[in-house]
Amino acid sequence: MQIQNNFLPMYYQLKNIIIDMIENEEIGVDECIPSEPKLMQTYNLSRTTVRKAIDELVNEGYLYKKQGKGTFVKGRGFEQGLIKLSGCSEDIRRYGLEPKPFVLKATIEKPSKRVAKMLEIDQEQETFYMERVIYGDEIPINKNKSHIPYHLVPGIEKVDFNKESLYKVIEKDYGIVITRAIRTVEAILANEEIALQLKIKEGAPVMLFKGQVYADMKGKEVIIEYFEAIYRSDQFQFYIEQHR
């Protein structure tokens, strides 16, 4: 494809050329696209035009930049079903990456009135509270906060959750059978703290999940966890599988 002298802006035509190269796998995932000078020379465009096309493709999720190395084709990103109940670590492993949790805080504390209501416990009852950022290899995928009634998991604060999966510990060490979850999701913009923790720009779109996880405790269903999780929308995709 070549740049045409028509009513379409030059940068827009260049975007379509690069997209066509990606769609036809002329440039593979994680491969570098031609450099800015090369694109300028090949299509007789200004640096401003080339940069506008590339920046828009980055913002639209086609490309990503590595400082000092160039601009690369982005893959589809991680996927997680909105119906199936699975942990982030499990989904990251499905894509051949190693989940790397980084614990920001893990403590025993009294819940707020709102959290106590979500857990259906008295506000005077203690909870195990944990904040973590979960990486897939070197990419931060999400930041999550977990609140668990402490009387259901006594001693859990001794576990090193930089190495262990929360749900696996709950099920294996405490014999609790997790059955289902109720989740809500909304699009929000990353504040300064989230931007630093997830290595994205402040104001970038992210997805906020909130929910309650239920478990079977000797034939009785109880809420085992109230959580809040913020996912990078440029790295994680969510899908719903429907059956007729």
Ordered domains of the chain (ranges, CATH): 10-73 (1.10.10.10), 78-239 (3.40.1410.10)
The string of DSSP letters for 114-167 reads HHHHHHTS-TTS-EEEEEEEEEETTEEEEEEEEEEEGGGSTTGGGS-TTTS-HH
Over 80: is that where the pLDDT of 216 sits?
yes
Over 70: is that where the pLDDT of 90 sits?
no
Q: Which pLDDT band holds residue 20 (cuts at 50, 70, 90)?
A: confident
Residue corresponding to tokens 């707020």: 112
Which among 166, 47, 158 is positioned nearest to 101, based on CA atoms?
Answer: 166
For the whole model, what pTM was predicted?
0.65
Query: Rounded CA gap, 81 and 77, in Å?
Result: 13
Residue 73 · residue 30 · CB < 8 Å: yes
Which among 144, 148, 149, 115 is positioned nearest to 131, based on CA atoms?
Answer: 144
pLDDT per residue as tens digits for the range 96-121: 667 889 999 999 999 999 899 999 99
Which among 95, 141, 149 is positioned nearest to 122, based on CA atoms?
Answer: 149
Round the average pLDDT of the chain to a whole number and report it. 85
Residue corresponding to tokens 């609790």: 176
Query: Rounded CA gap, 133 and 38, in Å?
Result: 39
